[in-house]
Chain A
Amino acid sequence: MASQTLQSVPAEPSPVRHEQSPEDAARLDAEGQAYFDKVMAEDSRIEPRDWMPPAYRKTLLRQISQHAHSEIIGMQPEANWISRAPSLKRKAILMAKVQDEAGHGLYLYSAAETLGQPRDQMMQDLMDGKAKYSSIFNYPARTWADMGAIGWMVDGAAIANQVPLCRASFGPYGRAMVRVCKEESFHQRQGFEILLELSHGTPEQKQMAQDAVNRWYAPALMMFGPPDDDSPNSKQSMAWNIKRFSNDELRNRFVGMMMEQVKVLELTLPDKDIRFNEETKKWEHGPLDWDEFHEVLKGRGPCNAQRLERRREAHQNGAWVREAAAAYADKQRRKQAEKVSAA
């Protein structure tokens, strides 16, 4: 995936590439733009070393790195519950899920790196509080039932968002998403199962499940991003075939799925305004608190400070491992070099 670092061998010596005059550069840009437009029109894919408009590169880099950060920070609310999971089976499942989130973060960092940004820089931006990640992970996971609600609703919303991204016009992003989506459905199902077991348990357990659903419903819906009329970048992202459906379209589709699934759980969604619009044939939800969304995104949510502090702490605690591994690799390389020169 990291083809940015691959060396390319010119097909034939081309003087243009070595001594570029402004006219040549302009001509190459025009050719590149024409090719890019053709790829977009054909709904084909752009690969890392193709010419691309600077704004396309910037948009993708922002989106993919934010997506990667979300996966990495997203490990925290659930990792907190591994030691308190109610059975060995549930601990094993939760560990596998958290490990998957780490993997998803790494797939995405790899995809972002092909755009020319080193991973270390992205991670540093996250730790310095310069980079954004999904607002959802700044809410606390208060009870075991939250593990169910996160799996069912948060991962459910993530899947609804990510499935269309498998067809994103940037090849490495689409391929990373295919891998992520394959693994994500286990996450949603295990969450649904936690809620189902609780909702069919004692009255207290059922109440705990309902409370968790109540807490996560609105934040999960806001994961799709601001309403269409307040989402300035959406139009361009759709023109570039990065985004395939608008925020509201995806959100409404998701609400429709929740409405059916919540019946199986014998729970309710905390939204008295949900209705099926007979004219548009779409589900509609009640108003959401977008001021809260923007506050959380700006770093003033319930857990922002805690999540970032934990990320920095984990990075620092791992420093000796990174240093030791690098030192060992260096030593092996030196030994190998001595062997070669002695032979």
Chain B
Amino acid sequence: MTTEPQAGNVWPIWEVFVRSSRGLSHVHAGSLHAPDAAMALRNARDLYTRRNEGVSIWVVPAEAIASSDPDAKGSFFESPQGKDYRHATYYTKSEGVKHL
């Protein structure tokens, strides 16, 4: 016996972000399938917070997320290179001076 795949009945993917405790930001936990936002939230609760892992959940349709291009590894993130002076560690003459 074979069950036919049900075309048109495929639930979209949602990305799930969980705030683990008050004062922390929401962090990506994983993804799930759900027909709408309300079900996505319920499913996210059951799937990602079975052991008090969160106090707040965001769900976002995966297709609504824009991401940087993985093939452009270098060029997109290149600009900070050679700009050590953006880091406090670049300035060594103040070493040993208190509260600086």
A11 touches B75 (CB 8 A): yes
Residue A9 at the chain B interface, CB threshold 8 Å = yes
Chain A residues with CB under 8 Å of B72's CB are 10-12, 14
Chain A residues with CB under 8 Å of B46's CB are 99, 103
B2 touches A128 (CB 8 A): yes
Chain B residues with CB under 8 Å of A319's CB are 6
Residue B55 at the chain A interface, CB threshold 8 Å = no
B66 touches A47 (CB 8 A): no
A100 touches B9 (CB 8 A): no
A110 touches B3 (CB 8 A): no
Report the minimal beta-carbon distance from B51 to chain A, rounded to whole angstroms: 8
Q: Can you name the residue of chain B whose Cβ is closest to the Cβ of A186?
A: B51
**Which residues between 75 and 116 of chain A lie within 8 Å of chain B, taking CB atoms?**
96, 99-100, 103, 106-107, 110, 113
Chain B residues with CB under 8 Å of A103's CB are 46-47, 50
How many interface residues does chain B have, given as a range?
20 to 34
Chain A residues with CB under 8 Å of B39's CB are 325, 329
B66 touches A7 (CB 8 A): yes
Report the minimal beta-carbon distance from A125 to chain B, rounded to whole angstroms: 10
A110 touches B30 (CB 8 A): yes
B contact patch SS? mixed
Chain A residues with CB under 8 Å of B1's CB are 312
Q: Compute how far the CA of A1 lies from the CA of B36 in the bound complex, rounded to whole angstroms.
A: 18
Which one of B11, B35, B39, B47 has the greatest number of beta carbons of chain A within 10 Å?
A: B35
How many interface residues does chain A have, given as a range?
35 or more
A contact patch SS? helix
Chain A residues with CB under 8 Å of B35's CB are 325-326, 328-329
1/0 per residue B1-37: CB within 8 Å of A?
A: 1110110011101010000000000000011110110
Residue B80 at the chain A interface, CB threshold 8 Å = no
B3 touches A5 (CB 8 A): no
Q: Compute how far the CA of A110 lies from the CA of B28 in the bound complex, rounded to whole angstroms.
A: 13
Chain A residues with CB under 8 Å of B63's CB are 5-7
Residue B65 at the chain A interface, CB threshold 8 Å = yes
Q: Can you name the residue of chain B whose Cβ is closest to the Cβ of A323?
A: B9
B62 touches A5 (CB 8 A): yes
Residue B67 at the chain A interface, CB threshold 8 Å = yes
Q: Apart from A7-B65, A35-B73, A322-B11, what 7 extra A-B contacts exist at CB < 8 Å?
A: A6-B65, A11-B72, A12-B72, A106-B47, A312-B3, A323-B9, A325-B39
